[in-house]
Structure 1
């Protein structure tokens, strides 16, 4: 397995490829993303252990969406079964993916737990959908501190798991080693990922401004709220589509996983 060092401009290429590939198979890729979100939402509603179950499933679900992108890139229509890719590669890889999911769930809950200690759980309840945010709450110093504490802890967690599911599946790495190489790849290609993040932020701003402008021109500001949510879901689907390209270009693929 060889790590590729890519120039900063590659981050822009990843965003373009994600959007372009999404529009090759918009119904399939959007449908798979909505299925993924629906499963995560249902799991999160399970009493006591729901959030942990949903977070434990996230690495496997991410791999499924990356596999769907690979299928679309190769001109094939991704079927719903691709979401189960992580659990169809044999017992050893299934166990590895489950362990990866357990590690992610532990890290996520740990970060959320630290934020809980900062503000008594207000940010955690808002983030997890258990409470509606109010302007007064969001302006509270403790709430803002808890939010930044969570972001500061979750960012390195995201880097550890960014490539890990794909490394476990396509390169056969054990979970802990996949976390190490994922972090190294993200740090070695730091500027490409900075451009990647800034580009998606720019897309987000353009989507929000576009929706609000259209609603204002139609003389119906409330329409913005009705349009914005599905528009953001479609954008999130495109973002997940672009993840495959960050992995593909960061590592030399094994022959059987070559696009």
Structure 2
């Protein structure tokens, strides 16, 4: 397993390759995303335990989706049970993936605690619990949550970006996988910056702009019918592009993504 140092323009290339990969089996990938969102929403409805289970299984889900990407390249059928690929890879891999899930859960809980110290969540309660218009103060708090949340999540993302797949496919230990993932993201930080900047525009800026334009035209009710498909398609392609980041940052003996 070799770590590669890439040019900044690779950030755009990953997205282009994600689009190519999505085209190989769009229905299969959309099915996986819809299934994950549906099951996650049901799980979150269970107090405390539901959120814990979703976080715990996040590394396994990541391996499952990347396994589906590899299957699509090899022209194999994508099945829902692909999400269980990591848990069916043997006792050692299953134990490491679940332990990694515990680490991820702990990091998210710590991040949430730190965020609660920086943000006044009480100012958002009226917005969450009622249909009242968004006040300037509430909007300010939302922006603060997004900003501080993104800043705090960056180190967690760097640790977790490649570590599940390094454990499942490269047979690395948890410390080695976490370190390798961090180094891959750090060495190629400029490419990742452009990559994430483009996705921020596609998944956040464009839907918000469309929503505001429709609101200005008094067509707010139509926004969900336009924005939702764009967001789901963009989210699915983004997940497909994760495989491209893996193939670019690490060299292994496998079918190439072209």
TM-score normalized with structure 2 length: 0.86
Q: CA deviation at 1:230?
A: 3.0
Give runs of aligned pairs for residues 157-172 of structure 1, distance below 5 A.
157-172=156-171
**Is the partner of 1:173 in helix, strand or coil?**
coil
Tell me whether 181-190 or 149-158 shows the greater mean CA deviation.
Answer: 149-158
Tell me whether 157-166 or 19-28 shows the greater mean CA deviation.
Answer: 19-28
Q: 1:248 to 1:149 in 2, by over 3 A?
A: same
Aligned residue pairs, count: 253
Q: CA deviation at 1:252?
A: 1.3
- 2:242 pairs with 1:243: yes
Q: CA deviation at 1:121?
A: 3.7
What CA deviation, in whole Å up to 9, does each residue of 1:8-47 have, x standing for no partner? 1111111011112112211100001111122222222221
- 2:15 pairs with 1:15: yes
Quote the residue 1:104 is aligned against.
104
CA-based RMSD: 2.9
Quote the residue 1:43 is aligned against.
43
Give runs of aligned pairs for residues 3-152 of structure 1, distance below 5 A.
3-122=3-122, 134-140=134-140, 144-152=143-151
Q: CA deviation at 1:140?
A: 4.6
Tell me whether 114-123 or 101-110 shows the greater mean CA deviation.
Answer: 114-123
Q: 1:114 to 1:13 in 2, by over 3 A?
A: same
Q: CA deviation at 1:7?
A: 1.3
What CA deviation, in whole Å up to 9, does each residue of 1:166-192 have, x standing for no partner? 100110111122111101000101111
Aligned equivalents of 1:97, 1:124: Cα separation in 2: 35
What 5-or-longer segments of structure 1 have no aligned partner?
A: none
Structure 1 segments of 4+ aligned residues over 6 angstroms from their partners: 123-126, 129-133, 210-213
Q: CA deviation at 1:50?
A: 2.0
What CA deviation, in whole Å up to 9, does each residue of 1:61-82 have, x standing for no partner? 1111111111112222211121
TM-score normalized with structure 1 length: 0.86
Tell me whether 96-105 or 17-26 shows the greater mean CA deviation.
Answer: 17-26
What 5-or-longer segments of structure 2 have no aligned partner?
A: none
